[in-house]
Every structure is written in structure tokens, then in C-alpha cells.
DNA sequence: ACCTGAACACCGTTCAAGT
DNA sequence: ACCTGAACACCGTTCAAGT
């Protein structure tokens, strides 16, 4: 069977889904494909480049929202779409959190997002800054979700650290609801900013 | 020289400052201390626990803001203090971004932060959610700063991906200004939320 | 009982040697 | 010219053997 970048990437994704992040080593990937570890290096310069390709494969699964929806609804759809796609592929989710996909699929999503922000009424320079703030926040939320799933001890530690300062139980770290709340704060901030920009026009 | 957890942690921090993240391996740390690699395991159960202790050492450097300052100013001081302390120690900054410090120093900062949020007028449940959103955002900003410093190629890639969608140059990914903008959006969101909570009271 | 270091089970990547 | 796999320079951690 002839190797191609696409074939290597999808085999790596499947391996990660099945056996987790640590299973996606060059040696294990090669074994999965039944080839020499070095054969992979003929298609990708290094492991990171391969994982970037796998991440973009996941970005392909994210639906681009209908352009007739309001801009804030579209941003919510895009970001929670990326988040749930990543969580469907736990092996690569950690990599996605560190390096949001920038291949063809990633750029398609970035385009939809910046379009929505421009439509919100932000100045071009602020579109980029708000874009990066939203990506940064989503990446962090994804990382917390990944860590929370794999490290119960950490969740306990966070809980212990905060419990003393507050009454009531700690909401689950990295949960969907927690993610939505921060996104809501950011979108509120953007709305306020856009209103100010519109007035100054 | 007798080994102690504090001595190991500060030697590890110094090593990371001098030679970067990858130099902080159990073997290199032991060499730095002139002891057997296994000696470290008598004071820390594993490498992650040691790095957590190093991270808390950095949190000790962050000044706690004056309680008479307004709540939003205090949050800015705390988060940018943590950010610049981490960036002064590039070896451990990546670890801090993944696992915000929760040792004694980390808890002190968390306490100051939740107090500021409570004073802003958020409901207790929202204090925790806003706290986590702010931490998540700051961690992501720190990660972007660390990556931007070490990976010019990635910055170029992000720039290429966005340049096509916008006119004008891309603001530096992970820069102080970029970080401040997202924080500003979040604080605006919190102000709006607090105002709503206050009205419902 | 405490401590050591050899050994286990891996890594990503280079590079010389084969075809 | 293309491909392979041995080898390099590492890892974190376990555990048997020594004192």
C-alpha cells in the first residue's frame, strides 16, 4: 500500500482515538501503517508537522455556520463546534489546544470567524485582536477539559484550593458550562466594544 | 550538601532559566545538584510534582495588589504580574501555562483574585466561573507568548493564515498588547454581568 | 532501613550503508 | 536516487542489589 500524507494523518488520528496521545509516536504510527518509522519522514519533516496535519483533519469535521445567523451566534457555533470535534478525538485534542489548526480546514474556520467579527462592527485591528483572544480562550478551555478528563487528582487540587475561599461546590473545571460562561463574558465585551466603535464612526 | 524540596526546586528553576525547558530533565537536575537522579524521587513523587513546586516558586515573586485599589485594577495587576513573572523564567513558563500554580503562593494569588471578583458584585457561583475564565485566558496568553518567542515559523504561519482575510499587519501574537485587549474584553463582560446581578438583587 | 545505579521500556531524529 | 534500519543521544521511572 502506497503511503500518502492523508493516509498517514488519518491512521495517526485513528491510533490516537483508540489509544491516546502517547500512542501517537513515530514508531507506533509506523507500526500501525506497517512501514519503517523513517518512511513517515518522507511525507512530513517531523512529528509536529504530522500532528498539525492530524489537527486540521479534525477541523474538517467542524460545520461552518449559516451566514444568515447573527454574528455572535455564528461565533458560538464555530467555537463550540471546534471544541466538540476536538473532544471526539481525545488523542489529538491536546495538540489542538496548543496549536489551533492552520491548514486548509483551519483557515476556512478562521475566515468565517473574522467575517463574523467584522460584521459585529469591530475595527479591522480589533477584529484580529478579538479573534486571537477568542482562540486563546477556547484553546485554554479545551486544555482544561482534556486535563480534567485525564487527571482527577488535579481537579481535586483545584477544588481544594478554591473551596476554602468560597461557599458551595466548585463547578466542574473545563466543563461545557464553564466554557460557555467565559465565552459569554468575551462576547459581551465585544458587543460593548463594537457599540463604542460604532458611536465613534 | 543535604537535599531538600526547596533546594531541588530552586536549582531546577535556575537550570531552566539558564538552559530552557528541555534541560529540566530528572537526569540534568540531578547533575546540577551533584546527586543521583533517584535522589530527587525521595523528595518528589515524580517530575510533574517537582515542576509544580518550581511553578509555585515563581508565583511567590508576584506582588499581591493593595486591597484599596479598585477590583478591576487589582485583577489586572495580579494577572499581568503572574504573566511577567512567568516570562522572567522562560524554562518553567510553559509548565505554568499548562498548570497554573496551586501551591501556597498560588493559593494566595487565587484568594486575592476571588476576593476582587466578589467585590465586583458577582454572585458566588459566578465568581468561580469568572475566576476560571480569567485563569484560562491568561494561561493561553502565556502559552502564545512562550510559543511566539520560541517558534518564529508558527508566528509566520498564523500571519499568513490571517493576512489574506484582513488588511494591515498582524499584531504580534502573544504580545503584551494582545493580552491586555482580551483581558479588557473579559473585564468589560464581568462589569456588565455584575451590573445585571446588582439590579436583580 | 536507606540508598544507589543498572536496567526497562521507551522516545525523535540522524546518517551510514545497502539496493 | 531511493530507501532502510541501525545507531545516537536522550527520556521518566522501576527495582534488584548492595550497604
Domain of B112, CATH number, reads: 1.10.357.10
Q: CA-nearest residue of chain B to A158?
A: B102
Q: DSSP string of chain B?
A: ----HHHHHHHHHHHHHHH-GGG--HHHHHHHHTS-HHHHTTT-SSHHHHHHHHHHHHHTTSPPPPTTS-HHHHHHHHHHHHHHHHHHSHHHHHHHHHS---SHHHHHHHHHHHHHHHHHT--HHHHHHHHHHHHHHHHHHHHHHHHHHH-HHHHHHHHHHHHTTSSSPPPPTT-HHHHHHHHHHHHHHHHHHHHHHHHT-
Domain containing residue B23: CATH number: 1.10.10.60
If one counts the domains in chain A, the total is 2
Question: In the structure grid, which three cell numbers stand for residue B53, read together?
Answer: 513546586
Count of residues in chain A: 201
Looking at the fold, whether A129 and A183 belong to one and the same domain comes out as yes
Q: What's the CA–C1' distance between B38 and C3, in Å? A: 9
Nucleotides of C strand lying within 7 Å of any protein CB atom? 3-6, 10-15
- Hey, how many other C-beta atoms are within 10 angstroms of the C-beta on A6? 11
A23 shares a domain with A111: no
pLDDT at res. B92? 97
Segment B93-97 shows an average pLDDT of 94
What is the per-residue pLDDT for A170? 64
Tell me whether residue B113 is in a domain.
yes
Going by pLDDT thresholds of 50, 70 and 90, the confidence category of residue B105 is: very high
| Same-domain pairing of B16 and B80 | no
Q: Are residues A126 and A36 in the same domain?
A: no
| Same-domain status, B123 and B194 | yes
Shared domain for B99 and B140, answered yes or no, is yes
For the residues A25-53, what does the mean pLDDT come to? 95
| Residue range A125-148: mean pLDDT, rounded | 91
Query: What are the tens digits of pLDDT across the range B56-86?
Result: 999 999 999 999 999 999 999 999 999 999 9
Residue-range definition of the domain harbouring residue A23: 5-45
A27 touches strand C (CB under 7 A): yes
Same structural domain, A102 and A160:
yes
Q: For B169, which residue in chain A has the nearest alpha carbon?
A: A125
Measure, in angstroms, how far nucleotide C18 C1' is from residue A18 CA. 37
pLDDT average, residue stretch B178-184: 95
Cβ neighbours, 10 Å, residue A176: 14
pLDDT at B129 over 70: yes
Nucleotide nearest to A38 (CA to C1'): D4
* Residues B20, B80 within the same domain: no
Residues A39 and A114 in one domain: no
Nearest nucleotide over every DNA/RNA strand to the A36 CA, judged by C1' = D4
User: Does B155 score more than 90 pLDDT?
Assistant: no
pLDDT at B171 over 80: no
pLDDT for the residue numbered B166: 65
pTM of the model as a whole? 0.92
- Please tell me whether residues A173 and A133 are part of one structural domain: yes
Do A63 and A155 reside in the same domain of the chain? Answer: yes
Q: Is B117 part of a structural domain of the chain?
A: yes
Closest to A110 (Cα-Cα) out of A95, A90, A125, A127: A127
- When pLDDT is cut at 50, 70 and 90, the band that residue A77 belongs to is very high
In a domain, residue B104? The reply is yes
Amino acid at each position: 500500500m502506497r503511503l500518502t500524507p492523508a493516509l498517514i494523518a488519518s491512521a495517526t488520528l485513528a491510533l490516537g482515538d483508540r489509544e491516546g496521545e502517547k500512542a501517537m509516536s513515530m514508531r507506533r504510527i509506523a507500526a500501525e501503517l506497517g512501514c519503517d518509522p523513517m518512511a513517515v519522514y518522507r511525507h512530513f519533516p517531523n512529528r509536529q508537522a504530522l500532528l498539525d496535519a492530524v489537527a486540521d483533519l479534525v477541523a474538517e469535521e467542524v460545520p461552518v455556520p449559516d451566514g444568515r445567523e447573527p454574528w455572535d451566534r455564528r461565533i458560538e457555533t464555530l467555537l463550540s463546534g471546534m471544541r466538540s470535534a476536538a473532544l471526539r478525538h481525545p488523542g489529538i485534542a491536546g495538540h489542538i489546544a496548543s496549536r489551533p489548526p492552520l491548514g486548509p480546514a483551519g483557515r476556512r474556520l478562521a475566515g468565517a470567524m473574522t467575517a463574523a467579527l467584522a460584521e459585529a462592527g469591530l475595527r479591522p485591528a480589533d477584529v484580529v485582536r478579538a479573534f486571537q483572544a477568542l482562540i486563546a480562550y477556547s484553546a485554554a478551555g479545551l486544555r482544561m477539559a482534556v486535563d480534567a478528563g485525564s487527571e482527577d487528582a488535579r481537579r481535586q487540587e483545584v477544588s481544594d484550593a478554591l473551596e476554602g475561599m468560597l461557599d458551595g461546590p466548585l463547578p466542574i473545571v473545563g466543563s461545557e458550562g464553564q466554557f460557555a460562561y467565559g465565552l459569554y463574558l468575551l462576547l459581551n465585551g465585544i458587543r460593548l466594544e463594537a457599540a463604542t466603535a460604532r458611536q465613534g464612526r
